[in-house]
Amino acid sequence: MQRTMTKHLTRSQAPRRGFTLLEVIIAVTIVALLATLVVPRLTRFLQGAHEDKATAEVNSLANAVRLYITQNTTGNLDDDFTLEMLVEGDDPYLDNSADLIDPWGTPYDIVIPGEQNIEFDVICYGPDQRQGGEDDIIHGKR
Ligand SMILES: [Ca+2]
């Protein structure tokens, strides 16, 4: 008799296994709420970081172009100048041709003469990866 009672107590005190449907629904709801709050903020943060990086890089490229002008021209860039020329030669102005690609994977561009600046514009086409629009980033602008 005592033996059966001990066995019965042990069964009722055994830990439950798994979750109830209600617990799973509550957990999924909490995760979904957190995701709707965090994902847009994270997306905006990453977008801002890409824009800051592109702004720094167009300014850096513009400085490399100015150095190129100083060392290789009589004062003005030829119309056939391209940014790729900055990574060519034995003593290139940029270490890596990857420096010519913006954070969205599009090559930076140069317009001679510039519309924003007198001599030239170094342009990042921005998240839409197309020329024009409010997302374009031009050196010396902002
Ligand atoms: Ca654009």
Report CA(93)–ligand 1 centroid distance (Å).
Answer: 26
- How many residues appear in the chain? 142
Q: How far is the CA of 77 from the centre of ligand 1 (A)?
A: 25
Does domain 22-138 fall into CATH 3.30.565.10?
no
Q: Which of 79, 121, 125 is nearest to 101 (CA)?
A: 125
CA distance 101 to 139: 15
Q: What is the pLDDT of residue 10?
A: 60
Span from the CA of 60 to the centroid of ligand 1 (angstroms) = 20
* pLDDT of 18: 87
Q: Are 111 and 138 in contact (CB under 8 A)?
A: no
- Does residue 111 contact residue 58 with C-beta atoms inside 8 Å? no
102 alpha carbon – ligand 1 mean position (Å): 12
Which residues fall inside 5 Å of ion ligand 1, going by CB? 125-126, 128, 130, 133, 135-136
124 Cα: distance to centroid of ligand 1 (angstroms)? 8
Predicted pLDDT at 90? 87
3-state secondary structure of 106: coil
Give the pLDDT means over successive 10-residue stretches in the chain (142 positions). Answer: 53 74 96 94 94 96 95 88 92 91 96 91 96 92 67
The 8 Å CB, 24+ separation contacts for 78-87 are 78/112, 79/112, 81/110, 81/112, 82/110, 83/107, 83/108, 83/109, 83/110, 83/122, 86/61
Domain boundaries, the chain: 22-138
